[in-house]
Amino acid sequence: MRLAVTGATGFVGGAVCRAAAAAGWQVTAFGRRAAADAGRLGGAAYRSWDIGAAKLADPPGVDAVVHCAASATDTGVAPEVWRTNLLGTHHVLASFPDCRIVHVSSASVYDPFRPTVRAREHEAPVDRYLNAYAAAKAAAEQLVLAVARDAVVLRPHAVYGAGDTTLLPRLLENVRGNRLLVPGNGKVLVSMTNVDTLARACLLAATAETAWPSVFNIADSAPVPIDWALRGLLASAGARVRPAYVPARVLTPFARVFPRGRLNRYVISQFAVERSLDITAAIDRLGYEPSPTVFPVP
């Protein structure tokens, strides 16, 4: 199997490269930076490509592409987010018109204005989002499904594991003393996604025979209370931190004044209400085998 991986220098893309290499696949890894550590890519050949700039002049011949590259930030500047996440996806599709595209999307495409309760795939996209990241991820999914000849869209939520560039670093950045201010009450359920399980789902999606259109939620076997998840994540990093909960109604007026602040409306929407996914379709149709949410003990 010959695989190309975009976003290979990132958290998810690196895990996909290592899993594919371990399975004996021939992998070409793409990232934006000039050079990458071969060990983090499972020894894959590396090429630098700014997907927002243009399509590849000389794409390698591959059987599938796992497209992980994205501006994966909720506070990103909108033009840059749209350039990478939508225009970049257009360039990926134009570079690889004839092979399976596994598009790594996000559960951010579900409605941010109401709880996501065991959401099924048909419940997104919606016509309202709280930031450019979610809106551009939703638009990119639609582009992939409209243009690609053969595509599988995966929607993970709250990815964790070794090499996390997003969730855990963001939590640690916001610790003050031994406290982490968190919107909500800590009791709502959240679907977490182990990065190694997500990488395996990407490999399944690269090879599965699946009916069109193919959109799948990807998460661990069952949602967990968010307070349990936060404490586990922080403890796995060796941080002795206690979440301190603040009702969303108290934080929302500040978030309206500081729309790109750390406790912005998107963050409130992610932490204060349930964000759980139904993963039945991935289990039944992709052969996805989820595992329970477990955080490594340091």
Structure tokens at 31: 């990232």
Compare residues 32 and 100 and give the one whose CB is closer to ligand NAP. 32
Cα–Cα distance for residue pair 298/295, rounded to 1 Å: 9
Q: Do residues 149 and 108 touch, judged by C-beta distance below 8 A?
A: no
Q: What's the closest the beta carbon of residue 286 comes to ligand NAP, in angstroms?
A: 17
Compare residues 55 and 254 and give the one whose CB is closer to ligand NAP. 55
Q: What's the closest the beta carbon of residue 50 comes to ligand NAP, in angstroms?
A: 4
Q: What's the closest the beta carbon of residue 159 comes to ligand NAP, in angstroms?
A: 4
Structure tokens at 118: 């065991």
The terminus-to-terminus CA distance of the chain in angstroms comes to 36
Q: Do residues 71 and 135 touch, judged by C-beta distance below 8 A?
A: no
Q: What's the closest the beta carbon of residue 91 comes to ligand NAP, in angstroms?
A: 9
| Strands, sheet with 179-183, edge to edge from the N-terminal-most edge strand | 175-176, 179-183, 242-246
Q: What's the closest the beta carbon of residue 109 comes to ligand NAP, in angstroms?
A: 10
Compare residues 188 and 201 and give the one whose CB is closer to ligand NAP. 201
Q: What is the CA radius of gyration of the chain?
A: 18
**CA 65-270-157 angle, 5° bins:** 25
Compare residues 133 and 245 and give the one whose CB is closer to ligand NAP. 133
Cα–Cα distance for residue pair 237/231, rounded to 1 Å: 10
Q: What's the closest the beta carbon of residue 88 comes to ligand NAP, in angstroms?
A: 5
Compare residues 250 and 291 and give the one whose CB is closer to ligand NAP. 291
Cα–Cα distance for residue pair 75/23, rounded to 1 Å: 36
In the complex, which residues of this chain contact ligand NAP (CB under 6 A)?
A: 7-13, 31-33, 49-52, 68-72, 84, 88, 104, 106, 137, 156-159, 165-167
Compare residues 196 and 252 and give the one whose CB is closer to ligand NAP. 196
Compare residues 7 and 186 and give the one whose CB is closer to ligand NAP. 7
Q: What's the closest the beta carbon of residue 240 comes to ligand NAP, in angstroms?
A: 24
Cα–Cα distance for residue pair 56/50, rounded to 1 Å: 9
- The residue at minimum Cβ distance from ligand NAP is 10
Cα–Cα distance for residue pair 161/294, rounded to 1 Å: 9
